[in-house]
Structure 1
Amino acid sequence: MTDDTQPRVVPRAVEPQLMFTGDAAAALDLYAGVFGDTAVESQVNADDGTIAFASFRIGGARFRVIDSPPVHEFTFTPAISFAVDCSTPEDVDRVVEALSADGQVFMELGSYPFNDRYAWIADRFGVSWQVGVASGA
């Protein structure tokens, strides 16, 4: 429940931020190779060559990535995933094949009651993706 006596914040943006531990550049390369409309908007490298901060877009959605200098006990979890709506079943197949290489499959590529061509996967970095044919496609 919100406290109506407190002013509400209107954020300028809310964007997902992906934290890697040395693999942010490789992840950006993978995503640029899978999605034709990926564009890195800005990138600042740390002295050791890792990414201190970068922003990029896929399908109009803006993401942030960093390489965390300390190694943490946690990594990505499938509880948060990125939904990708593809135009054709063939596009779904290509995205799933590329992103799931050396990754993990949570739901096999197939037909489900909610989508004719769908899979839920994690890429080799542990980022979770739900890929399917857009409704009406």
Structure 2
Amino acid sequence: MEFYCSVFPDGRVVDDRRYGPEGPGEEGTVILAEFEIAGLRMRCSDSFIQHEWNITPAISLMIDCESADEQQRLFASLSEGGAVYMPLDDYGFGPFGWVGDRFGVTWQLGLKT
């Protein structure tokens, strides 16, 4: 949450509720938090339950960037420590890039026309 708010200039934390020493999650982990980035309100939590699955690139967040500079900056910031699925290029539908960030969330970055 802090990472995303630092990457997007309009990022802000709206709510951040955390477990205390009584649990059931580890103290300091997120029960439920909300933050806003790129005009989108996001919710997140830390699961204390072990799951047999993880985040996949089957779902991506799509951001329409206001400028090529913003698109390049977001691409560089979000891909650092992550993965590049499609480098920034024009694939016939305008400048586009697809990255997976260090947390496994994938981002498709287009350019408003």
Give TM-score, length-normalised by structure 2: 0.89
TM-score of the two chains, using structure 1 as the length reference: 0.74
| 2:57–2:100 Cα contact (<8 Å) kept | yes
Q: Secondary structure at the match of 1:92?
A: helix
Aligned mates of 2:34, 2:11 — CA distance in 1: 11
CA distance in 2, matches of 1:58, 1:33: 9
Name the structure 2 match of 1:20: none
Contact 2:65 / 2:71 at 8 angstroms: preserved in 1? yes
Which residue among 33, 39, 42 is the counterpart of 2:15? 42
> Does residue 98 of the first structure (1) align with residue 77 of the second (2)?
yes
Segments of structure 2 that go 5 or more residues without pairing to the other structure are 21-26
Aligned to 1:61: 40
Aligned structure 1 segments of 4 or more residues deviating by more than 4 angstroms: none
Q: Which residue of 1 aligns with 2:67?
A: 88
Aligned counterparts of 2:58 and 2:18: Cα–Cα separation in 1:
29
Identical-pair percentage: 39
Counterpart Cα distance in 2 of 1:46 and 1:76: 23
Counterpart secondary structure, 2:35: strand
The corresponding residue for 1:8 is none
Taking the aligned partners of 1:36 and 1:120, their CA distance within structure 2 comes to 20
What runs of 5+ residues in structure 1 fail to find an aligned partner?
1-27
Structure with higher Rg: it is 1
